[in-house]
Amino acid sequence: MNDIVKMRSVAVTSIKYALAIMLILNFIPSLILLLVNPEAWFFGYKLGGIKASCWLLTNGIIGLILAYSLLRDLKYGFLAAFLFFLANFINVMIIPLQGLAYPPLYSLGLILSLLGVVSEVRK
């Protein structure tokens, strides 16, 4: 029984660090896009200029805050990460030019954060 608890603890810690890395990596493309060509999609509407810059910067900063909250073991960190990845997943899937491809970063983030939420509920 002790081995199962230890294995679960290692799995939750691994999920936490993987999600934190994914959230930090979410900030980097937003920052590059912000500097090179501020253009973004916001739930089906194309944004440009200052509006796109605000959306990209806000989305990246929220990801960094969530990464910090996961690393600090705040109570609802996994749930907040799940909602963040869910909102971004839906945002990317609504883009009219997307086609049938799905966003792998946000899909993996959804799965890992959902596993984290389930593990926190089962404590």
Extents of the domains making up the chain: 2-121
Query: Percentage of residues in the chain with pLDDT exceeding 70?
Result: 93
Please answer whether residues 29 and 39 qualify as being in contact, where contact means their C-beta atoms are separated by less than 8 angstroms.
Answer: no
Q: What is the arithmetic mean of pLDDT over 106-110?
A: 90
Confidence of residue 41 (pLDDT cuts 50, 70, 90): confident
Q: What is the mean pLDDT of residues 104-112?
A: 90
Per-residue pLDDT, 99: 62
Q: What is the pLDDT of residue 100?
A: 58
Q: What does pTM read for this prediction?
A: 0.87
For the chain, the average pLDDT equals 87
